[in-house]
Copies of this chain bind each other. A is one copy, B any other.
Amino acid sequence: MTPRQARLEQQRSDILQAAATLIAERGFHGMSMRDLAEATGFGVSSLYNYFASKEELLAELQTRAFATLIDAAESSLTDAIDPSARLYVFIFNQVRYFIDHADVMRVLIHEAAALPAEHRHKVRGLKEAYFRIGRDAVAAVFAQGCGTPDTARGPVDAVALDRATYSIFGMINWVWAWYEPALHGTPEDVARSIHSLAVCGLVARCPSSPTHAQLPPDFAQRQVSLLNRRTGND
């Protein structure tokens, strides 16, 4: 990559990050290209040297973010740890990303419908791919039972599995709406709360959430580097 291309890519990333912040605040239609120009220091027309239109800018933002999420999830789930720990890794990955990139996350959740049809289908495909990764992780825990054979429930019907998976996604995705570091603990605390709720519920007795000791030793660093890759929205 020439320095020329690197500079261009860097500025595209900067613009995307600024756009994520503004869209998260005011919504896609609430952000004007003039707002974005002021936030980035560019003139309004210069933005069109980097993105063909406002809608293409949104599409690029969403595509990059989902690709990052999928990459991080796939890479982190290659380890052959037990289902409950795998689910924790998946949850922590996503919680971590949402807390670190709250504005990008808000865009992902809120502005899927603002895309033109062509881009919407592409993003939809990425979203479904991501959903399947999560559902596989949930299904493994579901099938396994509480870790001991006598509590195993056996296979569950597909609709109930979908509902459970969507519900777990709901816990994770909702983090953007309430989490404040000063009030609600660390991202690890959040991930543990969600994992505990997903696996054991509020009241049941079962093994506590995996500690870091049970996870690969380089786990934390791996996640960070993965999540900062490709999106460039840091």
Q: List chain A positions with a Cβ less than 8 A from chain B.
A: 25-30, 109-111, 113-114, 138, 141-142, 144-147, 151, 153, 159-160, 162-164, 166-175, 177-179, 183-185, 189-190, 193-194, 196-206
Report whether A206 and B203 are in contact in the complex, using a CB–CB cutoff of 8 Å: yes
Report whether B142 and A164 are in contact in the complex, using a CB–CB cutoff of 8 Å: no
Contact of A197 among B30, B198, B206 (CB under 8 A): B198
The 10 closest A-B pairs by CB, nearest first: A170-B174, A204-B204, A201-B201, A29-B29, A29-B30, A163-B193, A200-B201, A167-B171, A170-B171, A146-B203
Q: From DSSP, what is the main secondary structure of chain A's interface residues?
A: helix
5 more A-B contacts (CB under 8 A) besides A26-B113, A145-B203?
Answer: A27-B28, A138-B202, A163-B185, A167-B171, A204-B206
Report whether A163 and B144 are in contact in the complex, using a CB–CB cutoff of 8 Å: no
